[in-house]
Amino acid sequence: MSRIGKLPIPVPAGVDVTIDGRTVAVKGPKGLLSHTVAAPIEIVKGEDGVLNVTRPNDERQNKALHGLSRTLVANMITGVTQGYTKALEISGVGYRVAAKGSALEFQLGYSHPILVEAPEGISFKVESPTKFSVEGIDKQKVGEVAANIRKLRKPDPYKAKGVKYAGEVIRRKVGKAGK
């Protein structure tokens, strides 16, 4: 058995899980998420509010899908109860962010401001001109939006300027030795 896949998934109070064939729908206080499980994997609703993920045999592909499917469903349950947040920071002279309705406007050293619209299910929160966060119920979508924002101006290893995740350590490089 997969160490991760064999663990039961606890379903907290206030969360409704519906299994319809291969589709698992999770509804909670923050919203609704659904996911289609890969073909050989089955999700069974057990007694006392737990979900169990099973696989038909020990083939390599099925072992990989077993742990993956269990984690994806567990992340959906966490998303509809607590949600996910990815905090980012901006460092650099003149680099800043401002909220424009549901979008973010970045000044990142280019000749023009960059406007990033919030996709469906994602919200932005600006704490200061250099700190903001991406929030939502879908872990994959929150991470993707945060990575796309970071990609606008990746942290420079020489001056450590750019958009980085909160707590991310930028490995500094030494500039060339001048004469």
Query: Residue 1: what pLDDT?
Result: 55
Segments in 39-167 forming alpha helices (H): 60-81, 139-152
Mark whether 13 and 59 lie in a shared domain. yes
Which of 28, 49, 81 is the last residue in one of the domains?
81
Mark whether 107 and 71 lie in a shared domain. no
Mark whether 48 and 77 lie in a shared domain. yes
Q: How many domains does the chain have?
A: 2
What parts of the chain have a pLDDT lower than 70?
1-2
Mark whether 31 and 94 lie in a shared domain. no
DSSP at 122: E
Query: Residue 39: what pLDDT?
Result: 87
Give the CATH number of the domain where residue 142 resides. Answer: 3.90.930.12
Q: Output the average pLDDT for the chain.
A: 93
Enclosing domain of residue 123: 84-165
What is the rounded (10 degree) CA torsion for 59, 65, 66, 69? -170
Query: Residue 23: what pLDDT?
Result: 94
DSSP at 22: T
Query: Residue 99: what pLDDT?
Result: 96
Query: Residue 47: what pLDDT?
Result: 80
Q: Is 4 within the bounds of a domain?
A: no
Mark whether 65 and 108 lie in a shared domain. no
DSSP at 40: T
Q: Residue 36: is it exposed, middle or buried by C-beta count within 10 angstroms (0-12/13-18/19+)?
A: exposed
Closest among 30, 51, 31 to 41, alpha carbons compared: 51
Residue-wise pLDDT for 93-142, tens only, equals 999 999 999 999 999 999 999 999 999 999 999 999 999 999 999 999 99
